[in-house]
Amino acid sequence: MATYTIKKYEQNDSNTWNEFIAQAKNATFLFHRNFMEYHQDRFEDFSLLVFEDEKLKAVLPANIKENFVYSHQGLTYGGLVYKEETKQASIIEIFQAILFFLNENNIQKLHIKTLPSIYHLKPSDEILYSLFLAEAKMIRRDSLSVIDLLQENKISKIRKRGIQKAVSNRLIIKEENDFELFWNEVLIPNLKTKHNAKPVHSVEEMNSLKAHFPQNIHQFNVYSEDKIVAGTTIFETKTVAHCQYISKNEKQENLGSLDFLFQYLIKERFAEKRFFDFGISNENQGKNLNEGLSYWKESFGASTIIHDFYEVETSNYNKLNGIFV
């Protein structure tokens, strides 16, 4: 059995961390420190590095709140990150070492949000088996609406009519380098009117993230006679084009703007990706489904991929004893 050492992340670990993320089989640019730290004022970082001797074997993007540690709450997804050569038995031992370390540091529970399978560069469910063995409790399940771009996907007649309407209305799609127009004219007003909420990211944060990750973050706006009527913000990883924000100007008549935009993104702009991810249509920690929103996504040919969240008592590290036969 290997001996693992757990170390809390410090600022001088950033290069080591980022180099590891770039080589992992289950990581995206969201785990890069330049992304994780854009909102460092909102979260107390408690990320962990796992070493065997002096070799880095895994990392856990995380934050701490009271006496609970969470897969970083500022990220859409998370979990234990490791390389292709790391075997199932090693992941069990690494996870046991993490639980023991947390327990020794008076952390009662670890909350793990998984990385949906579409973001894996290669199969990476070793942590799910480890969670099962540690008797983790699933506390939330979201449903992502995803299109497999390697398959033939039928678009519904109602979406086709929307696209035709957009063409007749002479709408134009532009990929922009800034976010001000979409945020201020469309996204912020819609979220305030519908949900009395604000975007998770400010315009300044988005512009900063775009500067750090120009190949991964994209803004697409739809215009009618030079006036913005809709848009979406896309986070692009090696396997997935993910919709971070989708919104249209509700004051405009139905111009077919979003149908037109997503037909372009799916069939042209990101056609070479493995998956197109519309994101969730869930509310109330996954316990409610926005049926209309889910149907709209499915009418492009999307179907469901599951995103699970777990809670495990750190004292359960002892349940990982005697596993191997």
DSSP 32-95: SHHHHGGGTTTSEE--EEEEETTEEEEEE-EEEETTEEEE-TTSS----EE-TT--HHHHHHHH
CB atoms within 10 A of CB 206: 23
Q: What is the pLDDT of residues 268-322, one digit of tens each?
A: 999 999 999 999 999 999 999 999 999 999 999 999 999 999 999 999 999 999 9
Of 117, 125, 120, whose CA–CA distance to 146 is shortest?
117
Class of domain 4-141+307-320: alpha beta
- Output the tens digit of pLDDT for each of the chain's 325 residues: 679 999 999 999 999 999 999 999 999 999 999 999 988 888 999 999 999 999 999 999 999 999 899 999 999 999 999 999 999 999 999 999 999 999 999 999 999 999 999 999 999 999 999 999 999 999 999 999 999 999 999 999 999 999 999 999 999 999 999 999 999 999 999 999 888 889 999 999 999 999 999 999 999 999 999 999 999 999 999 999 999 999 998 776 789 999 999 999 999 999 999 999 999 999 999 999 999 999 999 999 999 999 999 999 999 999 999 999 9
CB atoms within 10 A of CB 260: 24
Q: Answer whether 239's CB lies under 8 Å from 122's CB.
A: no
d(CA 109, CA 94): 17
Q: What is the pLDDT of residues 113-130, one digit of tens each?
A: 999 999 999 999 999 999
**151-273: in CATH 3.40.630.30:** yes
- Residues 6 or more apart whose CB falls under 8 angstroms from that of 104 comprise none
Q: Cα-atom radius of gyration of the chain, to the nearest Å?
A: 21
Q: Where exactly does CATH 3.40.630.30 map onto the chain?
A: 4-141+307-320, 151-273
Which token pair is 43? 């979260």
CA distances to 5, 32, 172, 190, 216 from 18, in Å:
19, 6, 38, 36, 16
CA distances to 165, 176, 275 from 272, in Å:
26, 21, 9
Of 104, 103, 45, 97, whose CA–CA distance to 74 is shortest?
45
